[in-house]
Chains A and B, each alone.
Chain A
């Protein structure tokens, strides 16, 4: 088994640094050289976004394989690149890149091509409006949230086209299911999103993030129980939107081979795959920004105010401890991890059950939640005792849940050998 020696062990940290560097490349110019022409800055932003998404997708694919493997009592990629197969996705990407571009007989060529692009490009573009910190954003749009939602929804078109253009009945089934599911779940998603928008009073993501700088109790999810419910609803709706298990009917392997992307191979398939992982991170980052403190740590940013205007190393430390892009990436990764966790644990829900859950359970719940929150916001002043009690209770629930989840993960990490329950079977004589 390759364990990784010396330089190879540094591979993974180098990869993380590259990830951060790509973000910095996108957004630092705006910070450091405000007088540069806009075109240069925009080109750098686009390059940075593409680099970030590609790097993240590669990392996420490797991570998913590792997480899946560990849950399934095996190891995952171990060889490619040395240390835990970190270069596996790189190798896979190169392999896919050099594969023959196959077109089916009877496939609708322009649409077949277009479908992959339409699925991929919106997933990239929405990172333009996604803030990694108050100043780390390519374009701070007034309607940033709406922009991101619109682009997430545009992915449905790519899926539908893929299913149709493949000239394959199974792909059609996958595409139909997908359209049904994604579009239906946009509605509870919207209702769940309206709740923090009501609280913040704006669609601008940086403004919503700035509201949550006063530590754990100020995180929007913990301000009142309706926001907590909205956070959970949002997470579930994005699960359905991203076609992740348990809502992965469109790519149900056992029934539809691979659903809408059955007939795609090589790099076109990689585009779908990249789009899915990009959307996963976007959904996680959005959940973090809207509900779970954006780029702020659980500690109030006030406590580190002195460091913000000190020397560079102190500013960096402030970013790491109190408020910075690492927190957003970390939270995004945590939600991505929860999505992966759910995928490898739960079975798949049938389509009619998916629709039932959406229309008859989530939608009324989301509507009532919005109504209740609106009434709460109207009647209960922000600094009253009731509001403070609600805030305290929700914060306590949230803190306990977060600590419990992290403790479970840590426990599993440290005791993984024992938990797998291996029964060592020595070969019997004669074997």
Chain B
């Protein structure tokens, strides 16, 4: 493999020598990013291209590294919760939730029932919001400008609900150690029910508008196929894994919190031709990964309706001492974030401040498949593949 990081002196990249009788063309080394409208954040993709054909793609990360894990060694768990918001900032409630669960498991804190339901409501709402962004920006990458605006219109209603609850629209610091930082405001549940009634038919509308659109299908079906074996080997999780046909979701397979009380399906990628799936679709292609997210939004709505029926009255937070002492020992706990399995390792050492906090960002592992899958694809397909993997650089770089 030729050295794809040429020295800055500007030496020429060694070109593959042309076989006799073939046309010799030069390969171009192009930088996609870190500032680029379609890399979903500050990701730098170094592409070696032969015309429009991408021969090799290498992601370079670290542009959003903010030393979150190091900060975790200097602040108390309650002070670290806002930091978790900024990991996967599109689904911040899930991050808060995961970290809080890890610390509670380490300290043996029992969370009251109502708090658990509040957590599930917030996590599922944030999952919907995150998938809406994914849906909108994927459409935008493919050139369909309008679904992006529709997705953000729906997101506004969700963000209004969040703002009423905790005052913030993106980084909430709400699901904290012991439960939630405050109770749900008055009228929240009615408003949520109204939103669900409004939103559920919209998912079908967006499927008609974008998912089954002929041009969109042609752009994404059969592009960037990841087999189930590859997906597991590379540590893919979340919709990327489920799009390849592997029915694995932590909420069902390793239930945490109260997810075992709810009835919901785990959508996976299916071959084209079954049901309404367009015939060009292959299991594990970009369309499958994208469509799994659309179906997951429906399942989240289903979970939310069940939460609305089942949520009890009670405490919204456990009694947690003001100075929480973390016992010696370590806990590693994974939750199903919007992008995959989000893991938190908390190592305590009999003090208020943990010795080590480690975050397993799902997007970091999902991104690792880019060099494997972006081979011999067109430039436009790189955008399609990257959009379907749906990375958030906050998680990748921490």
Give me the interface of A with B, judged by CB distance under 8 Å: 68, 71-74, 169-170, 173, 176-177, 245-246, 248-249, 252-255, 257, 343-353, 421, 423, 425, 427-431
Contact = CB atoms under 8 A, between A and B. Distances in A.
A429 B187 contact: yes
A423 B143 contact: no
Interface string B148-160: 0110010011001
A411 to B, nearest CB: 17
B215 A72 contact: no
Contacts of A68: 145
B38 A169 contact: no
Given A173-B52, A254-B140, A428-B164, 18 more contacts: A68-B145, A72-B146, A169-B30, A176-B52, A249-B380, A254-B141, A345-B144, A347-B143, A347-B216, A349-B219, A350-B378, A350-B380, A421-B202, A423-B194, A427-B164, A428-B186, A431-B167, A431-B185
A347 to B, nearest CB: 4
Nearest to B142: A347
Contacts of B61: none
B386 to A, nearest CB: 10
Contact of B191 (A344, A347, A348, A425): A425
Nearest to B380: A350
B283 to A, nearest CB: 21
B143 A348 contact: yes
Given A73-B153, A345-B144, A350 B191 contact: no
9 contacts: A73-B150, A173-B52, A252-B143, A344-B145, A423-B194, A423-B198, A428-B164, A428-B191, A431-B160
B331 interface: no
A254 B38 contact: yes
Contacts of B140: 254
A361 to B, nearest CB: 13
Contact of B149 (A72, A177, A248, A353): A72
A98 B263 CA distance: 62
B13 interface: no
Contact of B219 (A170, A348, A431): A348
Contacts of A352: 52, 378
A419 to B, nearest CB: 11
A351 B378 contact: yes
Contacts of A71: 146
B24 interface: no
Interface in B191-244: 191, 194-195, 198, 202, 210, 213, 215-216, 218-219
Contact of B157 (A254, A348, A423): A423
Given A173-B379, A346-B213, A347-B216, A248 B194 contact: no
Contacts, number: 111
B109 interface: no
In which size bucket is the chain B interface? 35 or more
Contacts of B150: 72-73
Interface in B94-153: 139-146, 149-150, 153
Contacts of A344: 145-146
**Which of A72, A246, A351: most chain B Cβ within 10 A?**
A72
A176 B49 CA distance: 14
Contact of B143 (A245, A353, A421, A430): A245
B221 to A, nearest CB: 12
Listed from nearest, the 5 A-B pairs whose CB atoms lie closest are A348-B143, A428-B164, A431-B164, A72-B149, A254-B38
B37 interface: yes
Given A429-B185, A429-B186, A430-B185, A246 B195 contact: no
B381 interface: yes
A257 B36 contact: yes
Contacts of B142: 254, 347-348
Contacts of A74: 149
A94 to B, nearest CB: 26
Given A252-B380, A347-B142, A428 B195 contact: no
A253 B144 contact: no
A425 B164 CA distance: 11
Contacts of A429: 164, 185-187
Nearest to B53: A352
Given A344-B146, A350-B219, A423-B195, A255 B38 contact: yes
